[in-house]
Amino acid sequence: MSTAVPLVTVQAPRGGGRAVGLLRGTGLAGIASAVVIGVATIVAVIGPLVAPYSATLPNLALAFVGPTGGHVLGFDFQGRDVLSRLLAGATSSMLGPLAVVLGALLAGTVLAVIAAWRRGVADAVISSGLDILFAFPGILLAVLAAAVFGAGLPAAAISLAIAYMPYVARVLRGAALKERSQPYVAALEVQGASSTTICLRHIVPNIMPLIVAQATILFGYAMVDLAAISFLGLGVQPPAANWGVMISENQVGIPQGYPLPALAPGGCIVAVVIAFNVLGERLFEQAQARR
């Protein structure tokens, strides 16, 4: 702690705040989306516990039997209860995108703040590095990773995090650059605050609304891409329950006139992705309006 008396007391504008504060002003659609996301999160946590029947034990005698009492969504291609598989599959379907978003945001924020803070050569190197990374579409990188490391959720999640990172970093770099040129940053520097302190305690909290908005939008994309990779057989491996896997394995029922076991997980994905898209869009508008 320095004992020098600061010449000016600077009150850095506080961004972020609590989740409730962020939600206020997103409107009815935003709140409805938050509710859908909340429900999906709860199901992801307790789904496997509350599933009424086994999600993996097949009973071929019941294959593609329609909804009956106690089995509201009927049975899948191996005679397993569709509702139980939906509930059990929520965990990997939600946890995968969460990992992708956290990875992409962490790396993207660090790079963006470093580029904005150091400017000059560091910024030029990071920015052109990011431009080059844009060359790899996420799904393609994940397929390449599956070919090399074998199919599985971790390899797919890491590939997607790497592929999404440049998008995050590009948006946040712009915001961080703007923050960097604010007078309060210069004042903090004059007072002798270390660059780590200024970045972590002031710049990052001030771009937090934008980070949260990015995370929300990315979650939807990550859910679609990860489900696609599981659908292709390169992500979560059957018999484990997962929404993407369920669509892929129950596809055979569609020509036979039993679309429900494939449509139900599809509906879950669409509902959750709409919620993340709508809420993310609102949060993004809010974050932009704030600056």
Partner 1 sequence: MRLAFLARRLAMLVASLLVASFVIFGALYLAPGNPIAALSGGRSLPPSSLKILEARYHLNQPFLAQYWYWLSNALHGNLGISITLRENVTTLIASRIWTTAGLVLYASVIILVLGIGMGLLSGLRPGLLDTSVLVSSAVSAAIPSFVAAIVLVALFAVKLRWFPALGNGTDLLSNMRHFTLPAFALALSSLAIVARVTRSAIREEADREHVQTAVSRGIPRRQLVRKHILRNAAIPITTISGITIASLIAVAAVVETAFSLNGLGAYLVTSAQDKDLAVVQGISLVLVTAFVVINVAVDLAYAVLDPRVTLGSRAT
**Choice between 91 and 159, CB closer to partner 1:** 159
| 48 close to 238: Cβ distance less than 8 angstroms | no
* Binding mask of the shown chain, residues 172 to 191, with x at each position contacting partner 1 by CB under 8 A: -xx--xx-------------
Helix (H, G, I), strand (E, B) or coil at 284: helix
How many angstroms separate the CA atoms of 195 and 135, rounded? 32
**Counting contacts by CB under 8 A, is residue 37 touching partner 1?**
no
| Min dist. Cβ of residue 77 to partner 1 (A) | 13
At position 69, the amino acid (one-letter code) is G
From the list 10-18, 101-109, 140-148, 186-194, the region that binds partner 1 by CB under 8 A is 140-148
- Residues in 154-173 that interact with partner 1 by CB under 8 A: 173
Does residue 32 belong to the site contacting partner 1 (CB under 8 A)? no
CB 229 within 8 A of CB 235: yes
Q: How far is the CB of 226 from partner 1 (least distance, A)?
A: 10
Q: What is the Cα–Cα distance from 28 to 49, expressed in whole angstroms?
A: 32
Smallest distance, Å, CB 151 to partner 1? 7
For partner 1 (CB under 8 A), the number of binding residues is 47
Q: Angle at CA 207, nearest 5°, toward 124 and 2?
A: 90
Determine if 195 is a binding residue for partner 1 (CB under 8 A). no
Max Cα distance, the chain (Å):
81
Backbone angles phi, psi at 233, to 5 degrees: 85, 15
Nearer to partner 1, 182 or 191 (CB): 182
Q: How far apart are CA 151 and CA 162, in angstroms?
A: 17
Per the document, the length of the chain is 291
Interface pick for partner 1 out of 95, 233, 237, 240 (rule CB under 8 A): 233
Using CB under 8 A, pick the residue from 234, 241, 245, 283 that binds partner 1.
Answer: 234
> Is residue 142 within 8 Å of 225, Cβ to Cβ?
yes
Alpha helices (H) in 191-259, listed in sequence order = 195-197, 204-231, 243-250
Judged by beta carbon, residue 29 or residue 63, the one nearer partner 1 is 29
In the complex, the residues that contact partner 1 under the rule CB under 8 A are 128, 131-132, 134-140, 143-144, 146-151, 173-174, 177-178, 220, 224, 227-228, 231-234, 244, 247-248, 251, 254-255, 257, 259, 262-263, 266, 269-270, 273-274, 277-278
